[in-house]
Amino acid sequence: MPRCTVVRRLHFNAAHRLHNPARSDGWNAETFGPCNNPNFHGHNYELEVMVEGEVDAETGYVVDVGVLKRIVEDEAIRHLDHRNLNLDVPFFREHLPSAENIAVYIWQRIVDRIPRGRLKRVRLWETPRNWVDYEGD
């Protein structure tokens, strides 16, 4: 059977602050720039979840995108949207809430829930110009 990659795009807003308490204020300001702002700031995140697999002969789908959307909303978006990532999401007490780590968080939350095909990539835009890809490594 032919194989395709199905992509679902989702959106959320969240606040964060990138700050490594093990390093000096100067190091943090230089390393993280505006993302080190002490009183947090927001981003409009765009998320793409990509699932690759065989096209099912009976449905013509790799995966039902409606089902995929609900999984990503329930497992990830619901926990991130309109949240302060540093304060509201336990994962980010242990990990800096960078786009990279947010993509890893989303991957870990959904990878075992994909009903058909396999999760190929989580792509997360932090700004219209900056995005990260995570493929499970």
Nearer to Zn ion, 5 or 31 (CB): 31
Q: What number of chain residues touch Zn ion (CB under 5 A)?
A: 1
- Which residue, judged by CB position, is nearest to Zn ion in the bound state? 35
Q: CB pairs under 8 A, 24+ apart, for 128-134?
A: 130/99, 131/46, 131/99, 132/99, 132/100, 132/103, 133/103, 134/100, 134/103, 134/104, 134/106, 134/107
Catalytic (active site) residue 4? no
Which token pair is 48? Answer: 């793409």
Catalytic residue among 16, 35, 43, 79: 35
Q: What share of the chain is helix, strand, coil (3-state, %, to 5)?
A: 35, 30, 30
* Cβ 32 to Zn ion shortest distance, Å: 8
Catalytic (active site) residue 35? yes
Residue in 6, 15, 35, 72 binding Zn ion, rule: CB under 5 A: 35
Catalytic residue among 11, 41, 82, 135: 82
> Contact positions toward Zn ion, by CB under 5 A?
35
Catalytic positions? 35, 82, 126
